[in-house]
Amino acid sequence: MNEKTDPAVIEPIITVQQHILQEQKRFPGASGEFSWLLSGITMATKMIQAKVRMAGLTDILGEWGTINVQGEVQQNLDIYSNEVLVHCLKVRESIGVLASEENEQAILVHGGSENANYAVVFDPLDGSSNIDVNVSVGTTFSILRRPDGVSLDEPEKWVLQPGSVQIAAGYVVYGSSTILVYSVGNGVHGFTLDPSIGAFILSHPDIKMPEQGPYYSVNEAYRDSFPTHYRNYIDHLRNGGLNHKYSSRYIGSMVADFHRTLLKGGVFLYPPTESNSEGKLRLLYEANPIAFLAEQAGGIATDGTRRVLDIQPNSIHQRTPIVVGSQAEMIEFERFASEAR
């Protein structure tokens, strides 16, 4: 009988809050401020998940009618999720700047007090076109340290940093269960929300992406406008060029598509297309957190040419193509990409 099956051995239950307290020992001088910051995210995402679970039962469904900075119609839950995150985070005194998919500008909080060391960037609700049809949606977040010498009237400069300097990143998937996945640069850990006690419980410690997976994940409706090497690469996977014939999965919520890729392996792509020559996904709050987690779990993320985490952003809402996945698929992608150069 091993420890796991021996009923006499009780596994400790570890909440995300306990885990963060352990992890923040890696930040000398952080003295609790980092766990307090992250507790703002866990609280907000619990509130968002409660609303998501109620979506079919209230008048929250449907379009609000306003257009966000991306030119997309916002839905009630986009706005609610944004307000909840801003509300829960702006009272954390360690945070000086917030930037969100739903706000055109970065927001300076506490007048950028001297004690504020962090900026948080987030997509409050990812995959929002899936809300009305009961399909998984999520939240992504990225945490950056305030750069030296940046003045308080320049909140943008707090967040226009390459993803390689993120000090933490993560996401929550509101799926068949609610799961929070995060990293502070020391591996990737997943916590499932136990709704009966309202706590995120460690369920997936030290996640490693499989070396190779069964699926590729891409919106193939845009296939005709993908660059040729993307088309050839996908054909190659489908035709068994990489040991087996791939199957495909595409949810249309990046967080959920990536979560599957993280656990099962494979590759997720959002290439440049005719209507989105820079891809569709946003660098700061979609691609960067995903790329950070992928690398921490042993995977790779590129924009087709460069490591995603090396891109120096120029604007908060800038887009990037992304290809992210397991070692085997990513090495093969790089082969196709380099032959095309």
* Binding region for Mn ion (CB under 5 A): 101, 123, 125-126
Q: Does residue 127 bind ligand AHG (CB under 6 A)?
A: yes
Residue 189 or 280: the one with the smaller Cβ distance to ligand AHG is: 280
Minimum Å distance from CB 111 to ligand AHG? Answer: 29
Residue 18 or 225: the one with the smaller Cβ distance to ligand AHG is: 225
Q: Are 315 and 229 in contact (CB under 8 A)?
A: no
Other Cβ atoms less than 10 A from the Cβ of 163: the count is 26
Minimum Å distance from CB 31 to ligand AHG? Answer: 34
Q: Does residue 253 bind ligand AHG (CB under 6 A)?
A: yes
Residue 125 or 150: the one with the smaller Cβ distance to Mn ion is: 125
Other Cβ atoms less than 10 A from the Cβ of 105: the count is 11
Residue 162 or 252: the one with the smaller Cβ distance to ligand AHG is: 252
**How many CA atoms lie within 13 Å of 287's alpha carbon, on the beta-carbon side?**
35
Residue 23 or 101: the one with the smaller Cβ distance to ligand AHG is: 101
Q: Does residue 123 bind ligand AHG (CB under 6 A)?
A: yes
DSSP letters, 149-182, are T--TT-HHHHH-S-GGG-SEEEEEEESSSEEEEE
Which of ligand AHG, Mn ion, none sits in contact with 102, Cβ below 5 to 8 A by type? none
Q: Does residue 126 bind ligand AHG (CB under 6 A)?
A: yes
Which of ligand AHG, Mn ion, none sits in contact with 219, Cβ below 5 to 8 A by type? ligand AHG
Task: Determine the Cα–Cα distance for residues 206 and 139; give it in Å rounded to an integer.
Answer: 21
Task: Determine the Cα–Cα distance for residues 252 and 40; give it in Å rounded to an integer.
Answer: 27
Q: At 310, which amino acid appears?
A: D
Calculate the alpha carbon distances from 335 to 176, 229, 248, 305, 323 in Å: 37, 10, 21, 11, 13
Q: Does residue 102 bind ligand AHG (CB under 6 A)?
A: no
Q: Does residue 252 bind ligand AHG (CB under 6 A)?
A: yes
Q: Give me the count of residues in the chain.
A: 341
Tell me the CA end-to-end span of the chain in Å, nearest whole number. Answer: 56
Residue 74 or 117: the one with the smaller Cβ distance to ligand AHG is: 74
Of the candidate residues 113, 192, 203, 219, the single one contacting ligand AHG (CB under 6 A): 219
Which of Mn ion, ligand AHG, none sits in contact with 303, Cβ below 5 to 8 A by type? none
Task: Determine the Cα–Cα distance for residues 218 and 326; give it in Å rounded to an integer.
Answer: 15
Residues that bind ligand AHG in the complex, under the rule CB under 6 A: 72, 101, 123, 126-128, 219, 252-254, 280
